[in-house]
Amino acid sequence: MSFFKKLFFLLVALNTAFLGYDYYQGGNIAFNLVENAKQLNGNKLQGYLAEIKSITPEKVAGHVNNAFAQLKNINSASDILSLIREKTAPAGGSTIEWDGNVVVLTDNNFKSVIDGSKPALVEFYAPWCGHCKNLAPVYAQLGDAFSSSKDKVLVAKLDADQHRDTGALFGVQGFPTLKWFPKGVHSPEGVEDYKGGRDLNSLAAFIKEKSGVAPRIKSQKSDVVSLTAKNFHEVALNPNKNVLVEFYASWCGHCKNLAPVWEKIGSTFANEENCIVAKIDADQEREIGTEFDISGFPTIKFFPAGESEPIAYEGGRTEAAFVEFLNKHCGTQRKVGGGLEAIAGRIAKLDELAIRFIKNANEREKIHSEAVEAAKEIGTRYGTYYAKIMEKMLANGENFLETERARLAKIAGSDDVSSAKLDDFSIRQNILGAFDKKASPVKN
């Protein structure tokens, strides 16, 4: 085999390896190359030929110098891929961007991406829309479920509040709006409105039905307690627990829309021993539905600890509304999105002593003794933590506060910290906040 043949096959192998690595990393070099090839026509080819004819030795030298200048900053395969992506991006400002495994559409790239070559589900959303924010994590999981089939079907989204021309073209009047673009369709004619549930299983089943592509859904851990007729009374009527129950039906569209929010609430309150988030299929477990007068779905009832009658929940069905309701009725201090409020775990009496301790350097030993006695009366480990901080400061000076803050922040930032431990570190960080001359004691 001649030298040039060997060189040719070596270049083919390298190109194949790079394209395969790029696809494995979630890139789109191959897709962009195809898109650029589609845009070639007679006029463009003639232009390229004319440009080739005009090449001089000086121009060749200039291109070589430019190439070497770009290679100076290349240290890995990822650097090379980034350069190739830049050079193979579709023309006209229509670069394809990905958010995880969801295609990010714009007015510029919509026609080049949603071109009818493959079917696509498109979410038209607005960043400020509460329902869109609730759907966002589910939609990201949907993209992941079809990530291995990007050559067959696309999961895409468009900020239709920013890119209004495309939103108007497809008649988007509210957010989020989901539309299905069958293969061969790239204009408003033939586009279908998606009207199913907004949970992962419903969305994935819809795409599978329409495209024939099977999703790969990773099992998700749920912090929502599933109830049946056998365990309902034991859980919901536990005299020591506060329980928020969703009575749902598997076929109910509103229940499917609520499902991702309900999962978030379950996760937010998973570490609260006295506050349980639960659900029961009251269409299947009809004796429970009848006992608690369930006439529509979803119906939400709160079962207070020690009470015989539940309270009908009549608030909003947003994450924020449920968090506010449960904080009020369970005495918790949870934040929307998970985690604890900045005052969680703090104790009014010990807050006052902590502020006095910082303000009165000459009385610190006396105040520390008061804190030790107060902590004994309160009888909690977080009460003891106040006194421990004072003891450490007496021994090591005020620099201990910064050292402790840094230590807790480092541990909390570790990837292997459990959510229960993260709550513990958050409360300790909150207590450290009371050791400030400008702090105000909480109201317990």
Give yes or no for residue 415 having a pLDDT over 90: no
189 and 234 assigned to the same domain:
no
* Tokens describing residue 14: 């390298």
443, part of any domain: no
Residue 416 lies in domain:
348-432
* Confidence bin at 411 (pLDDT 50/70/90): confident
* Confidence bin at 18 (pLDDT 50/70/90): low
Candidate list 120, 249, 255, 427, residue with the active-site label = 255
417, part of any domain: yes
258, part of any domain: yes
* Confidence bin at 109 (pLDDT 50/70/90): very high
More confident residue, 76 or 359: 359
**H-type helices in 25-145, by residue range?**
29-38, 42-53, 57-71, 77-88, 110-113, 130-145
Q: For residue 202, which amino acid is it?
A: S
Q: For residue 396, which amino acid is it?
A: N
More confident residue, 222 or 63: 222
239 and 163 assigned to the same domain:
no
* Measured distance CA(294)–CA(292) in Å, rounded: 6
268 and 315 assigned to the same domain:
yes
Residues 261, 134 contacting (CB under 8 angstroms): yes
37, part of any domain: yes
Point out the domain boundary residue: 297, 330, 363: 330
Task: Give per-residue pLDDT as tens, 136-151.
Answer: 989 999 999 999 999 9
Task: Give per-residue pLDDT as tens, 74-84.
Answer: 444 444 444 44
The DSSP bridge partners found for residue 242 are: 275
Identify the pLDDT of residue 274: 95
124 and 82 assigned to the same domain:
no
Identify the pLDDT of residue 412: 83
135 and 106 assigned to the same domain:
yes
81 and 119 assigned to the same domain:
no
353, part of any domain: yes
Candidate list 30, 33, 129, 321, residue with the active-site label = 129
Q: Does the annotation mark 132 as catalytic?
A: yes
Point out the domain boundary residue: 63, 88, 113: 88
* Measured distance CA(114)–CA(186) in Å, rounded: 6
135, part of any domain: yes
CATH of the domain at 280: 3.40.30.10
Q: Does the annotation mark 129 as catalytic?
A: yes
Give yes or no for residue 26 having a pLDDT over 60: no
Identify the pLDDT of residue 257: 86
The residue-averaged pLDDT of 355-383 equals 96
Candidate list 121, 132, 270, 432, residue with the active-site label = 132
Candidate list 80, 252, 342, 439, residue with the active-site label = 252
The residue-averaged pLDDT of 158-183 equals 96
Identify the pLDDT of residue 308: 83
Point out the domain boundary residue: 279, 304, 330: 330
Residues 55, 115 contacting (CB under 8 angstroms): no
Sign of CA dihedral 422, 428, 431, 436: negative
202 and 111 assigned to the same domain:
yes
The residue-averaged pLDDT of 18-37 equals 50
338, part of any domain: no
442: Cβ–Cβ under 8 A, 6 or more apart, which residues?
343, 346, 347, 348, 351
325 and 352 assigned to the same domain:
no
26 and 82 assigned to the same domain:
yes
- Residue 223, phi then psi, degrees to nearest 5: -100, 5
108 and 34 assigned to the same domain:
no
| CB atoms inside a 10 Å sphere around CB 404 | 20
150 and 125 assigned to the same domain:
yes
Rounded to two decimals, the pTM is: 0.59
444, part of any domain: no
Task: Give per-residue pLDDT as tens, 54-67.
Answer: 445 544 444 444 44
In the chain, the number of structural domains is: 4
CATH of the domain at 427: 1.20.1150.12
